[in-house]
């Protein structure tokens, strides 16, 4: 299972880290926090079960 993305600030750069199923870590660097959070939302793992509709 893929872990949730982690967003941190390091030396005036926002870093997004995402651990994959095979243990490798992908790292993305962004200029702003909003860019990093938007990318994290896109890379967030999808739920296995569909959402229930009411």
Between 24 and 44, where is the model more confident? 24
Q: Which helix (H) or strand (E) holds 42?
A: helix 33-43
The C-alpha atoms of residue 13 and residue 49 are separated, in whole angstroms, by 35
- Does the pLDDT of residue 47 top 60, yes or no? yes
Structure tokens at 21: 């199923």
Q: Are 16 and 3 in contact (CB under 8 A)?
A: no
DSSP result, 23-40: S-EEEEEESSHHHHHHHH
* 37 CB-side CA count, 13 A: 3
Task: Report the pLDDT value the prediction gives residue 52, as an integer from 0 to 100.
Answer: 47
Name the pTM for this structure.
0.72
Structure tokens at 15: 């870093």
pLDDT in tens, 8-38: 999 999 999 988 888 899 999 999 999 999 9
Task: Report the pLDDT value the prediction gives residue 30, as an integer from 0 to 100.
Answer: 96
């Amino acid at each position: 299972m893929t872990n949730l993305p982690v967003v941190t600030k390091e030396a005036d750069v926002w870093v997004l880290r995402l651990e994959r199923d095979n243990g490798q870590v992908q790292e993305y660097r962004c200029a702003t926090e909003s860019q990093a959070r938007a990318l994290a939302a896109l890379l967030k793992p999808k739920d296995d079960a569909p959402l229930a509709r009411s």
